[in-house]
Amino acid sequence: MKQEKLSSAAIVEKLETVPGWALRDDGGAITRSFKFRNFAEAFGFMSEMALAAEKLDHHPEWFNVWATVKVDLNTHDAGGITKLDFELAARMEELAKKALA
């Protein structure tokens, strides 16, 4: 399904539903850094998220060093940020909460 690029106002509004996420400085993605207890937890999160991302057919741009996973989400097909990015962000929040519980 072709996704519509969200307006800046819609992005600001939707960011309130995913605490911890922010608009990247260049406005090209929503971004968040997750800090886990160790590498195994960080990589476990990435493994589980990879399967969820594949199901959604929406894939994160991310960077891992030891217990930190830095994530940027956008929709290159739409040339901006869409509701799919917020769906993936919400899924990440659920999973990260579980990992840190």
Residues that bind ligand H2B (CB under 6 A): 57-59, 75-77
Secondary structure (H, E, C), 13-26: HHHCCCCCCEECCC
Distance CA 54, CA 43 (A): 16
Q: How near is the Cβ of 38 to ligand H2B at its closest, in Å?
A: 27
Do residues 95 and 84 touch, judged by C-beta distance below 8 A?
Answer: no
- By C-beta, is 31 or 75 nearer to ligand H2B? 75
Give 67 or 95: the residue with its C-beta nearer to ligand H2B: 95
Question: Least separation, in Å, of the C-beta of 84 and ligand H2B?
Answer: 7
**Least CB distance to ligand H2B at residue 97 (A):** 22
Which residue number has the CB closest to ligand H2B? Answer: 77
Q: Which residue number, 41 or 87, has a Cβ lying nearer to ligand H2B?
A: 87
Q: Identify which of 65, 90, 71 has the alpha carbon closest to the alpha carbon of residue 29.
A: 71
Specify burial of residue 30 (Cβ count, 10 A radius: 0-12, 13-18, 19+).
Answer: buried
